[in-house]
Structure 1
Amino acid sequence: MLANDIHHLHVPSSPTVSGDPRNGGSAFVSVSRPDLDADRYRTTVEQVTGSGPTRWTAGDRDSAPVLSPDGRTLAFLRVVADEHGAERPQVAVAPVDGGEARVVTTLPLGAGAPSGRPIRRASP
């Protein structure tokens, strides 16, 4: 490997699968790429089907995708700035069949990777 090859390093991680990608299902995976101009890594969530991969999230610091138990929603981490400008990972969710992602946590120290278990609300 030569220094000129660094921009080709695309590192996949955190796959989650909905159905069989060869038969209409898909996999979601976070992919990290070096951004040499900014001297940092960019991470996006990609959807992989039988036709190949496509970028699925619009953020450049999205990772740790997890499908909901019913397979209709994808949760993932998105790094966002808080009211003081500090960047922290927060949980975002988006419908698998398309639509805008929305950040659903505002934890002061940031969130950890979401789990695929259903959320149970406390009863009143």
Structure 2
Amino acid sequence: MSAPADVPATAYQPVLAAEGVHGSRCTRCRRGAAPATPRCPWCGATAEGETFAPSGTVWAATVVHIDVGARQPPYGLAYVDLDDGPRVLVLLRRPEALTGGTRVTLAATDDPAAWAVADREVTP
């Protein structure tokens, strides 16, 4: 199923700003969502806007080895559980399959097909 023709695909992407990832949190079950939604996707209650930290833990990751749209392989994708919020899908800055539990930080990108990129956190 594709998006309606008058709705840009970016309408379904989270937004990363200087202060963090813009999303929403349910007033009843307290689950977070990104992008923001007026209603909770899980219980249907009202959701309020919230900004989540731009860091988290990799839940799963992969390296893609086929062309998809304009993106040239190889490139990495990861589902990241934000520290205080939802799970989001992000492009990895380097094409590597990070293991679950790896700490990452999200950063802005000029890539029009990605809303953010994730970098492995450097531990001192």
TM range (shorter): under 0.3
Larger of the two Rg values belongs to structure: 1
* TM-score, normalised via structure 2 length: 0.25
* TM-score, normalised via structure 1 length: 0.25
Which structure shows the bigger proportion of residues in strand conformation? 1
**Higher RCO (C-alpha under 8 Å, 6+ residues apart):** 2
